[in-house]
Amino acid sequence: MLSNKAFIPNIGVPSKYNVTKRRRFTQSFFLILYFIFPLFGIFYFDSSSSSFVLLGKTIGINNSVLFVLGFIVLLTSVITAAITTGRSFCGWVCPQNFLSEVINKIIKAFALKSNGEKKIIPYAVITAATLLISISVAINFMFYFGAPANVFNSLIHGQLNGNITIFASIFGILVFSGIGIFRHDFCKYACPYGIMQAAVADKTTLRVRFAKERSSDCIDCDACTDICYVDIEPRKLIQADPGCMNCGLCVEACHQVLEPLGVQSMLDFTSEKDVKKENINSKAVLITTSTLFAFLTVFIYMFFNIPSIDLTVTRDDSYVSVLKPDGYLSSNYFVQVMNQTTKEKNISFKVEGIPENFITFDKSNLILSNGQRDRFKFKLNAKKSLLTPGIIQFNVLTYDTNDINKKPLNIAKASLYVPN
Protein backbone atom coordinates (compact mmCIF):
# COMPACT_ATOMS: atom_id res chain seq x y z
CA MET A 1 0.00 0.00 0.00
CA LEU A 2 1.28 3.44 -0.93
CA SER A 3 0.03 6.25 1.22
CA ASN A 4 2.94 8.56 1.88
CA LYS A 5 2.33 11.86 0.12
CA ALA A 6 6.09 12.53 0.11
CA PHE A 7 6.32 10.07 -2.77
CA ILE A 8 3.92 11.99 -4.95
CA PRO A 9 5.72 13.11 -8.09
CA ASN A 10 4.79 16.36 -9.80
CA ILE A 11 1.85 16.36 -12.10
CA GLY A 12 3.26 16.79 -15.58
CA VAL A 13 5.71 13.91 -15.39
CA PRO A 14 5.76 12.57 -18.98
CA SER A 15 3.44 9.61 -19.23
CA LYS A 16 2.58 7.22 -22.02
CA TYR A 17 -0.99 8.16 -21.29
CA ASN A 18 -1.38 11.62 -22.77
CA VAL A 19 -4.85 12.84 -23.69
CA THR A 20 -4.34 16.59 -23.35
CA LYS A 21 -2.57 17.12 -26.68
CA ARG A 22 -5.00 14.89 -28.57
CA ARG A 23 -7.96 16.58 -26.91
CA ARG A 24 -6.76 20.09 -27.63
CA PHE A 25 -6.11 19.12 -31.24
CA THR A 26 -9.62 17.65 -31.61
CA GLN A 27 -11.31 20.62 -29.89
CA SER A 28 -9.38 23.13 -32.02
CA PHE A 29 -10.12 21.16 -35.18
CA PHE A 30 -13.89 21.29 -34.57
CA LEU A 31 -13.79 24.96 -33.59
CA ILE A 32 -11.93 25.73 -36.84
CA LEU A 33 -14.59 23.76 -38.72
CA TYR A 34 -17.25 26.01 -37.15
CA PHE A 35 -15.45 29.05 -38.52
CA ILE A 36 -14.60 27.73 -41.98
CA PHE A 37 -17.78 25.81 -42.88
CA PRO A 38 -19.78 28.82 -44.11
CA LEU A 39 -16.75 30.79 -45.34
CA PHE A 40 -15.70 27.99 -47.70
CA GLY A 41 -19.29 27.22 -48.73
CA ILE A 42 -19.17 23.78 -47.07
CA PHE A 43 -22.41 24.31 -45.16
CA TYR A 44 -24.77 27.24 -44.61
CA PHE A 45 -28.42 28.23 -45.00
CA ASP A 46 -28.98 30.73 -47.80
CA SER A 47 -31.89 32.77 -46.44
CA SER A 48 -32.34 34.64 -49.74
CA SER A 49 -33.22 31.40 -51.58
CA SER A 50 -34.55 29.48 -48.52
CA SER A 51 -32.17 26.64 -49.21
CA PHE A 52 -29.28 24.86 -47.54
CA VAL A 53 -25.89 24.78 -49.24
CA LEU A 54 -23.93 21.62 -48.56
CA LEU A 55 -20.66 20.75 -50.31
CA GLY A 56 -21.45 22.95 -53.31
CA LYS A 57 -25.02 21.72 -53.77
CA THR A 58 -28.10 23.76 -53.00
CA ILE A 59 -30.96 21.90 -51.32
CA GLY A 60 -34.25 23.79 -51.34
CA ILE A 61 -36.33 23.48 -48.17
CA ASN A 62 -39.05 21.91 -50.37
CA ASN A 63 -36.80 18.83 -50.77
CA SER A 64 -38.53 17.12 -47.85
CA VAL A 65 -37.18 13.61 -48.56
CA LEU A 66 -33.57 14.73 -48.27
CA PHE A 67 -34.38 16.76 -45.15
CA VAL A 68 -36.07 13.84 -43.40
CA LEU A 69 -33.15 11.56 -44.35
CA GLY A 70 -30.62 14.15 -43.13
CA PHE A 71 -32.52 14.58 -39.85
CA ILE A 72 -32.62 10.81 -39.22
CA VAL A 73 -28.89 10.50 -40.03
CA LEU A 74 -28.06 13.33 -37.61
CA LEU A 75 -30.29 11.98 -34.84
CA THR A 76 -29.03 8.40 -35.09
CA SER A 77 -25.37 9.55 -35.18
CA VAL A 78 -25.88 11.66 -32.06
CA ILE A 79 -27.67 8.84 -30.19
CA THR A 80 -25.06 6.25 -31.27
CA ALA A 81 -22.23 8.55 -30.12
CA ALA A 82 -24.03 9.17 -26.80
CA ILE A 83 -24.54 5.46 -26.08
CA THR A 84 -21.06 4.31 -27.10
CA THR A 85 -18.80 7.19 -26.04
CA GLY A 86 -20.88 8.82 -23.28
CA ARG A 87 -20.21 12.55 -23.03
CA SER A 88 -16.94 12.36 -24.98
CA PHE A 89 -18.55 14.74 -27.47
CA CYS A 90 -18.75 17.34 -24.68
CA GLY A 91 -15.16 16.87 -23.53
CA TRP A 92 -13.56 16.51 -26.94
CA VAL A 93 -15.68 18.37 -29.50
CA CYS A 94 -18.20 20.84 -28.08
CA PRO A 95 -17.08 24.49 -28.53
CA GLN A 96 -19.08 25.57 -25.44
CA ASN A 97 -16.94 23.33 -23.26
CA PHE A 98 -13.72 24.19 -25.11
CA LEU A 99 -14.28 27.95 -24.93
CA SER A 100 -15.24 27.67 -21.24
CA GLU A 101 -11.91 25.91 -20.69
CA VAL A 102 -10.18 28.75 -22.56
CA ILE A 103 -11.79 31.22 -20.14
CA ASN A 104 -10.65 29.00 -17.22
CA LYS A 105 -7.09 29.26 -18.55
CA ILE A 106 -7.37 33.04 -18.89
CA ILE A 107 -8.62 33.31 -15.30
CA LYS A 108 -5.74 31.14 -14.13
CA ALA A 109 -3.17 33.09 -16.11
CA PHE A 110 -4.34 36.52 -14.92
CA ALA A 111 -5.47 35.70 -11.39
CA LEU A 112 -3.28 37.47 -8.86
CA LYS A 113 -2.48 36.36 -5.36
CA SER A 114 -3.33 38.86 -2.66
CA ASN A 115 -1.38 38.89 0.59
CA GLY A 116 -3.01 35.76 1.80
CA GLU A 117 -3.57 32.70 -0.34
CA LYS A 118 -6.77 34.10 -1.82
CA LYS A 119 -6.68 34.84 -5.53
CA ILE A 120 -7.98 38.06 -7.06
CA ILE A 121 -10.05 37.20 -10.09
CA PRO A 122 -9.42 39.66 -12.96
CA TYR A 123 -13.05 40.38 -13.86
CA ALA A 124 -12.16 43.07 -16.41
CA VAL A 125 -9.87 40.68 -18.30
CA ILE A 126 -12.43 37.87 -18.19
CA THR A 127 -15.23 40.16 -19.40
CA ALA A 128 -13.09 41.54 -22.24
CA ALA A 129 -11.93 38.08 -23.34
CA THR A 130 -15.46 36.64 -23.12
CA LEU A 131 -16.85 39.57 -25.11
CA LEU A 132 -14.20 39.21 -27.79
CA ILE A 133 -14.78 35.48 -28.16
CA SER A 134 -18.60 35.85 -28.11
CA ILE A 135 -18.55 38.60 -30.75
CA SER A 136 -16.29 36.56 -33.08
CA VAL A 137 -18.50 33.49 -32.66
CA ALA A 138 -21.68 35.57 -33.23
CA ILE A 139 -20.29 37.30 -36.34
CA ASN A 140 -19.31 33.95 -37.80
CA PHE A 141 -22.82 32.69 -36.99
CA MET A 142 -24.17 35.28 -39.47
CA PHE A 143 -22.25 33.57 -42.26
CA TYR A 144 -24.47 30.53 -41.71
CA PHE A 145 -27.45 32.54 -43.03
CA GLY A 146 -26.40 33.69 -46.45
CA ALA A 147 -23.88 33.42 -49.24
CA PRO A 148 -20.65 34.43 -47.42
CA ALA A 149 -19.72 37.16 -49.95
CA ASN A 150 -23.19 38.77 -49.59
CA VAL A 151 -23.11 38.61 -45.78
CA PHE A 152 -19.61 40.09 -45.76
CA ASN A 153 -20.70 42.95 -48.05
CA SER A 154 -23.77 43.67 -45.94
CA LEU A 155 -21.65 43.50 -42.80
CA ILE A 156 -19.07 46.06 -43.93
CA HIS A 157 -21.79 48.36 -45.32
CA GLY A 158 -23.93 48.01 -42.18
CA GLN A 159 -26.89 46.70 -44.21
CA LEU A 160 -27.48 43.37 -42.55
CA ASN A 161 -30.85 41.63 -42.72
CA GLY A 162 -32.74 42.49 -39.49
CA ASN A 163 -33.68 38.89 -38.63
CA ILE A 164 -30.14 37.61 -39.09
CA THR A 165 -28.81 40.41 -36.88
CA ILE A 166 -31.37 39.50 -34.18
CA PHE A 167 -30.46 35.77 -34.42
CA ALA A 168 -26.74 36.53 -34.25
CA SER A 169 -27.19 38.93 -31.31
CA ILE A 170 -29.24 36.37 -29.35
CA PHE A 171 -26.64 33.73 -30.19
CA GLY A 172 -23.83 36.08 -29.05
CA ILE A 173 -25.62 36.73 -25.73
CA LEU A 174 -26.09 32.96 -25.23
CA VAL A 175 -22.40 32.33 -25.96
CA PHE A 176 -21.38 35.14 -23.59
CA SER A 177 -23.50 33.79 -20.76
CA GLY A 178 -22.59 30.18 -21.60
CA ILE A 179 -18.81 30.61 -21.53
CA GLY A 180 -18.55 33.67 -19.28
CA ILE A 181 -21.19 33.13 -16.61
CA PHE A 182 -22.51 29.57 -16.44
CA ARG A 183 -19.53 27.82 -18.05
CA HIS A 184 -19.37 24.15 -17.01
CA ASP A 185 -22.54 24.46 -14.89
CA PHE A 186 -24.42 24.77 -18.17
CA CYS A 187 -22.73 21.54 -19.38
CA LYS A 188 -23.54 19.77 -16.11
CA TYR A 189 -27.12 20.85 -15.53
CA ALA A 190 -28.69 22.28 -18.70
CA CYS A 191 -27.01 20.88 -21.81
CA PRO A 192 -29.64 19.02 -23.92
CA TYR A 193 -27.00 16.59 -25.20
CA GLY A 194 -26.00 15.77 -21.61
CA ILE A 195 -29.63 15.18 -20.57
CA MET A 196 -30.21 12.96 -23.60
CA GLN A 197 -26.93 11.10 -23.01
CA ALA A 198 -27.90 10.29 -19.42
CA ALA A 199 -31.20 8.90 -20.69
CA VAL A 200 -29.68 6.59 -23.33
CA ALA A 201 -26.54 5.38 -21.51
CA ASP A 202 -26.32 1.63 -20.96
CA LYS A 203 -23.82 -1.01 -19.80
CA THR A 204 -21.68 -0.55 -22.91
CA THR A 205 -21.22 3.21 -22.51
CA LEU A 206 -17.62 4.39 -22.12
CA ARG A 207 -16.97 6.11 -18.79
CA VAL A 208 -14.28 6.86 -16.24
CA ARG A 209 -13.96 4.26 -13.51
CA PHE A 210 -12.02 4.14 -10.26
CA ALA A 211 -10.53 0.68 -9.63
CA LYS A 212 -12.26 0.19 -6.28
CA GLU A 213 -10.93 -3.38 -5.97
CA ARG A 214 -7.39 -1.90 -5.74
CA SER A 215 -8.32 1.13 -3.64
CA SER A 216 -5.31 0.55 -1.37
CA ASP A 217 -3.07 1.53 -4.34
CA CYS A 218 -4.52 5.05 -4.35
CA ILE A 219 -2.01 7.40 -2.74
CA ASP A 220 -4.68 9.96 -1.95
CA CYS A 221 -2.87 12.71 -3.81
CA ASP A 222 -6.08 14.45 -4.98
CA ALA A 223 -4.49 15.16 -8.38
CA CYS A 224 -7.56 13.72 -10.14
CA THR A 225 -9.98 15.84 -8.10
CA ASP A 226 -7.94 19.02 -8.46
CA ILE A 227 -7.77 18.75 -12.23
CA CYS A 228 -11.49 18.07 -12.81
CA TYR A 229 -13.03 21.30 -14.05
CA VAL A 230 -16.60 20.13 -13.46
CA ASP A 231 -16.02 19.46 -9.77
CA ILE A 232 -16.47 15.73 -9.85
CA GLU A 233 -14.67 13.50 -7.40
CA PRO A 234 -13.29 10.86 -9.83
CA ARG A 235 -12.59 8.38 -7.04
CA LYS A 236 -16.33 8.12 -6.48
CA LEU A 237 -16.86 7.12 -10.10
CA ILE A 238 -17.88 3.56 -9.41
CA GLN A 239 -21.05 4.37 -11.33
CA ALA A 240 -21.23 6.74 -14.29
CA ASP A 241 -21.67 10.41 -13.38
CA PRO A 242 -23.88 12.20 -15.92
CA GLY A 243 -21.85 15.39 -15.42
CA CYS A 244 -18.56 13.75 -16.42
CA MET A 245 -17.35 14.98 -19.84
CA ASN A 246 -15.08 11.97 -20.46
CA CYS A 247 -12.31 14.50 -21.00
CA GLY A 248 -9.75 12.11 -19.53
CA LEU A 249 -7.83 14.74 -17.51
CA CYS A 250 -8.24 12.84 -14.25
CA VAL A 251 -7.20 9.58 -15.93
CA GLU A 252 -4.11 11.29 -17.34
CA ALA A 253 -3.30 12.84 -13.94
CA CYS A 254 -3.53 9.49 -12.19
CA HIS A 255 -1.30 7.86 -14.82
CA GLN A 256 1.23 10.65 -14.36
CA VAL A 257 1.23 10.20 -10.59
CA LEU A 258 1.30 6.42 -10.38
CA GLU A 259 3.37 5.40 -13.42
CA PRO A 260 6.67 6.67 -11.95
CA LEU A 261 5.85 4.66 -8.82
CA GLY A 262 5.37 1.52 -10.90
CA VAL A 263 1.71 1.34 -9.96
CA GLN A 264 -1.14 0.87 -12.40
CA SER A 265 -3.44 3.89 -12.73
CA MET A 266 -6.46 3.81 -10.47
CA LEU A 267 -8.56 5.58 -13.08
CA ASP A 268 -9.31 4.41 -16.58
CA PHE A 269 -11.90 4.52 -19.32
CA THR A 270 -14.06 1.46 -19.42
CA SER A 271 -17.67 0.31 -19.56
CA GLU A 272 -19.90 -1.56 -17.13
CA LYS A 273 -19.88 -4.67 -19.32
CA ASP A 274 -16.05 -4.73 -19.41
CA VAL A 275 -15.85 -4.37 -15.64
CA LYS A 276 -18.25 -7.24 -15.14
CA LYS A 277 -16.68 -9.12 -18.06
CA GLU A 278 -20.10 -9.53 -19.62
CA ASN A 279 -20.25 -10.50 -23.25
CA ILE A 280 -23.17 -8.29 -24.22
CA ASN A 281 -23.90 -5.93 -27.09
CA SER A 282 -26.06 -2.91 -26.75
CA LYS A 283 -29.36 -3.52 -28.55
CA ALA A 284 -29.85 0.23 -28.80
CA VAL A 285 -26.47 0.60 -30.53
CA LEU A 286 -27.30 -2.21 -32.95
CA ILE A 287 -30.59 -0.51 -33.82
CA THR A 288 -29.16 3.01 -34.15
CA THR A 289 -26.06 1.97 -36.13
CA SER A 290 -28.04 -0.14 -38.61
CA THR A 291 -30.60 2.68 -38.99
CA LEU A 292 -27.75 5.16 -39.41
CA PHE A 293 -26.01 3.00 -42.01
CA ALA A 294 -29.20 2.43 -44.05
CA PHE A 295 -30.34 6.06 -44.02
CA LEU A 296 -26.84 7.43 -44.58
CA THR A 297 -26.43 5.23 -47.67
CA VAL A 298 -29.71 6.50 -49.14
CA PHE A 299 -28.86 10.08 -48.16
CA ILE A 300 -25.42 9.91 -49.82
CA TYR A 301 -26.90 8.33 -52.96
CA MET A 302 -29.65 10.97 -53.21
CA PHE A 303 -27.35 13.83 -52.31
CA PHE A 304 -24.81 13.00 -55.00
CA ASN A 305 -27.61 12.55 -57.52
CA ILE A 306 -29.29 15.89 -56.90
CA PRO A 307 -29.76 17.34 -60.41
CA SER A 308 -28.16 20.75 -60.90
CA ILE A 309 -31.59 22.07 -61.93
CA ASP A 310 -34.76 21.07 -60.11
CA LEU A 311 -37.57 20.90 -62.68
CA THR A 312 -41.30 20.39 -62.10
CA VAL A 313 -44.10 20.67 -64.66
CA THR A 314 -47.75 20.97 -63.59
CA ARG A 315 -50.90 21.61 -65.55
CA ASP A 316 -52.57 25.00 -65.06
CA ASP A 317 -55.83 23.82 -63.49
CA SER A 318 -57.39 27.22 -63.96
CA TYR A 319 -57.13 26.71 -67.71
CA VAL A 320 -59.29 23.88 -69.12
CA SER A 321 -58.00 22.17 -72.28
CA VAL A 322 -59.98 23.58 -75.17
CA LEU A 323 -60.70 22.20 -78.62
CA LYS A 324 -60.93 25.27 -80.81
CA PRO A 325 -63.09 25.56 -83.98
CA ASP A 326 -59.94 25.49 -86.15
CA GLY A 327 -59.24 21.94 -84.89
CA TYR A 328 -56.42 22.90 -82.49
CA LEU A 329 -56.29 21.62 -78.93
CA SER A 330 -54.98 24.13 -76.41
CA SER A 331 -53.66 23.64 -72.84
CA ASN A 332 -51.48 25.58 -70.36
CA TYR A 333 -48.72 24.30 -68.04
CA PHE A 334 -46.45 25.71 -65.33
CA VAL A 335 -42.72 25.09 -65.25
CA GLN A 336 -40.90 25.51 -61.91
CA VAL A 337 -37.13 25.51 -61.83
CA MET A 338 -34.48 25.97 -59.19
CA ASN A 339 -30.73 26.22 -59.57
CA GLN A 340 -29.38 23.61 -57.13
CA THR A 341 -25.74 24.52 -57.55
CA THR A 342 -23.68 27.32 -56.07
CA LYS A 343 -22.90 28.76 -59.54
CA GLU A 344 -24.97 30.78 -61.98
CA LYS A 345 -26.75 28.63 -64.62
CA ASN A 346 -27.93 29.60 -68.09
CA ILE A 347 -30.64 27.12 -69.05
CA SER A 348 -32.92 26.37 -72.04
CA PHE A 349 -35.92 24.08 -72.53
CA LYS A 350 -37.27 21.70 -75.12
CA VAL A 351 -39.90 18.95 -75.33
CA GLU A 352 -39.84 15.31 -76.38
CA GLY A 353 -42.78 13.03 -77.22
CA ILE A 354 -44.80 15.76 -78.89
CA PRO A 355 -43.86 17.96 -81.89
CA GLU A 356 -41.82 20.91 -80.70
CA ASN A 357 -43.80 23.42 -82.74
CA PHE A 358 -46.89 22.59 -80.60
CA ILE A 359 -45.26 24.24 -77.56
CA THR A 360 -44.57 27.90 -76.81
CA PHE A 361 -42.52 28.64 -73.68
CA ASP A 362 -43.06 32.04 -71.99
CA LYS A 363 -39.34 31.89 -71.25
CA SER A 364 -37.23 29.65 -73.45
CA ASN A 365 -33.97 30.76 -71.88
CA LEU A 366 -33.22 31.63 -68.25
CA ILE A 367 -30.27 32.76 -66.19
CA LEU A 368 -30.54 31.59 -62.57
CA SER A 369 -28.15 32.54 -59.81
CA ASN A 370 -27.31 29.96 -57.10
CA GLY A 371 -30.43 28.76 -55.32
CA GLN A 372 -32.66 31.00 -57.48
CA ARG A 373 -36.14 29.74 -58.38
CA ASP A 374 -38.45 30.72 -61.25
CA ARG A 375 -41.94 29.79 -62.33
CA PHE A 376 -43.41 30.46 -65.75
CA LYS A 377 -46.00 29.12 -68.20
CA PHE A 378 -45.84 27.26 -71.45
CA LYS A 379 -48.69 26.87 -73.86
CA LEU A 380 -49.52 23.78 -75.86
CA ASN A 381 -51.39 24.34 -79.12
CA ALA A 382 -51.66 21.06 -81.05
CA LYS A 383 -53.50 20.08 -84.23
CA LYS A 384 -55.88 17.43 -82.90
CA SER A 385 -56.00 15.44 -86.16
CA LEU A 386 -52.24 14.72 -85.70
CA LEU A 387 -52.75 13.22 -82.23
CA THR A 388 -54.08 9.82 -81.15
CA PRO A 389 -57.06 10.12 -78.79
CA GLY A 390 -56.30 9.24 -75.15
CA ILE A 391 -53.58 10.41 -72.76
CA ILE A 392 -50.33 11.50 -74.40
CA GLN A 393 -47.23 11.58 -72.18
CA PHE A 394 -44.45 13.94 -73.11
CA ASN A 395 -41.25 15.19 -71.49
CA VAL A 396 -39.99 18.68 -70.78
CA LEU A 397 -36.19 18.81 -70.74
CA THR A 398 -33.85 21.50 -69.51
CA TYR A 399 -30.29 21.96 -70.78
CA ASP A 400 -27.30 24.06 -70.07
CA THR A 401 -27.68 26.65 -72.84
CA ASN A 402 -23.99 26.52 -73.63
CA ASP A 403 -24.09 22.74 -73.79
CA ILE A 404 -27.27 22.04 -75.76
CA ASN A 405 -26.01 18.84 -77.44
CA LYS A 406 -25.14 17.12 -74.23
CA LYS A 407 -27.11 15.39 -71.49
CA PRO A 408 -30.23 17.18 -70.22
CA LEU A 409 -29.83 18.63 -66.72
CA ASN A 410 -33.28 17.36 -65.77
CA ILE A 411 -36.41 15.89 -67.31
CA ALA A 412 -40.01 16.32 -66.10
CA LYS A 413 -43.07 14.45 -67.29
CA ALA A 414 -46.29 16.07 -68.46
CA SER A 415 -49.45 14.74 -70.08
CA LEU A 416 -52.22 15.86 -72.39
CA TYR A 417 -55.69 14.39 -72.73
CA VAL A 418 -56.80 14.16 -76.37
CA PRO A 419 -60.58 13.61 -76.68
CA ASN A 420 -62.16 11.45 -79.39
- Tell me the closest approach of the beta carbon of residue 221 to ligand SF4, in angstroms: 4
Query: Would you count residue 245 as binding ligand SF4 (CB under 6 A)?
Result: yes
- Tell me the closest approach of the beta carbon of residue 213 to ligand SF4, in angstroms: 13
Phi and psi at residue 159, to the nearest 5°? -120, 45
- Tell me the closest approach of the beta carbon of residue 223 to ligand SF4, in angstroms: 4
Query: Would you count residue 99 as binding ligand SF4 (CB under 6 A)?
Result: no
Query: Would you count residue 126 as binding ligand SF4 (CB under 6 A)?
Result: no
**Part of the chain binding ligand SF4 (CB under 6 A), chosen from 66-74, 120-128, 215-223, 278-286:** 215-223
SS3 at position 11: coil
Start-to-end CA span in the chain (Å) = 101
Edge to edge, the sheet with strand 51-54 lists: 43-46, 51-54, 57-60
Single residue of 133, 179, 206, 221 touching ligand SF4 by CB under 6 A: 221
SS3 at position 328: strand
- Tell me the closest approach of the beta carbon of residue 342 to ligand SF4, in angstroms: 41
Considering only CA atoms, give the Rg of the chain: 31
Single residue of 129, 175, 206, 244 touching ligand SF4 by CB under 6 A: 244
- Count the neighbouring beta carbons within 10 Å of the beta carbon of residue 174: 16
Single residue of 219, 309, 329, 351 touching ligand SF4 by CB under 6 A: 219
SS3 at position 38: helix
Single residue of 69, 249, 313, 337 touching ligand SF4 by CB under 6 A: 249
Looking only at the bridges linking them, the beta strands covering 345-352 and 309-315 are unpaired
Single residue of 218, 329, 337, 409 touching ligand SF4 by CB under 6 A: 218
**Part of the chain binding ligand SF4 (CB under 6 A), chosen from 17-25, 99-107, 223-231, 352-360:** 223-231
- Tell me the closest approach of the beta carbon of residue 90 to ligand SF4, in angstroms: 9
Calculate the CA dihedral of residues 344, 346, 298, 40 and round it to 10 degrees.
-10
Q: How many residues make contact with ligand SF4 (CB under 6 A)?
A: 27
The rounded distance, in Å, linking the Cα atoms of 209 and 211 is 6
- Tell me the closest approach of the beta carbon of residue 34 to ligand SF4, in angstroms: 22
Q: Which residues pair with 252 in a beta bridge?
A: none
Single residue of 172, 234, 371, 408 touching ligand SF4 by CB under 6 A: 234
**Part of the chain binding ligand SF4 (CB under 6 A), chosen from 111-119, 143-151, 242-250, 305-313:** 242-250
Residues 263-282 that bind ligand SF4 (CB under 6 A): 266-267
Residues in the chain: 420
Residues 169-208 that bind ligand SF4 (CB under 6 A): 208
- Tell me the closest approach of the beta carbon of residue 260 to ligand SF4, in angstroms: 12
- Tell me the closest approach of the beta carbon of residue 262 to ligand SF4, in angstroms: 13
SS3 at position 41: coil
Query: Would you count residue 220 as binding ligand SF4 (CB under 6 A)?
Result: yes
Number of DSSP helices (H) and strands (E) in the chain, helices first: 13, 16
- Tell me the closest approach of the beta carbon of residue 305 to ligand SF4, in angstroms: 43
Query: Would you count residue 230 as binding ligand SF4 (CB under 6 A)?
Result: yes
The rounded distance, in Å, linking the Cα atoms of 313 and 396 is 8
Q: Which residues pair with 238 in a beta bridge?
A: none
DSSP character at residue 106: H
The rounded distance, in Å, linking the Cα atoms of 280 and 274 is 9
The rounded distance, in Å, linking the Cα atoms of 348 and 339 is 13
Cα dist from 37 to 31, 40, 156, whole Å: 10, 6, 20
**Part of the chain binding ligand SF4 (CB under 6 A), chosen from 244-252, 336-344, 360-368, 384-392:** 244-252
The rounded distance, in Å, linking the Cα atoms of 387 and 288 is 55
Tell me the one-letter amino acid at 95. P
**Part of the chain binding ligand SF4 (CB under 6 A), chosen from 32-40, 126-134, 172-180, 231-239:** 231-239
* Residue with smaller CB distance to ligand SF4, 217 or 316: 217
* Residue with smaller CB distance to ligand SF4, 168 or 267: 267
The rounded distance, in Å, linking the Cα atoms of 28 and 24 is 6
Phi and psi at residue 309, to the nearest 5°? -120, 125
- Tell me the closest approach of the beta carbon of residue 139 to ligand SF4, in angstroms: 31
Helix (H) or strand (E) holding 283: helix 283-304
Question: Residues 55-84 vs ligand SF4: string with x where CB under 6 A?
Answer: ------------------------------
The rounded distance, in Å, linking the Cα atoms of 23 and 9 is 24
* Residue with smaller CB distance to ligand SF4, 222 or 374: 222
Q: Which residues bind ligand SF4 (CB under 6 A)?
A: 208, 218-224, 227-228, 230, 232, 234-235, 244-250, 253-254, 257-258, 266-267
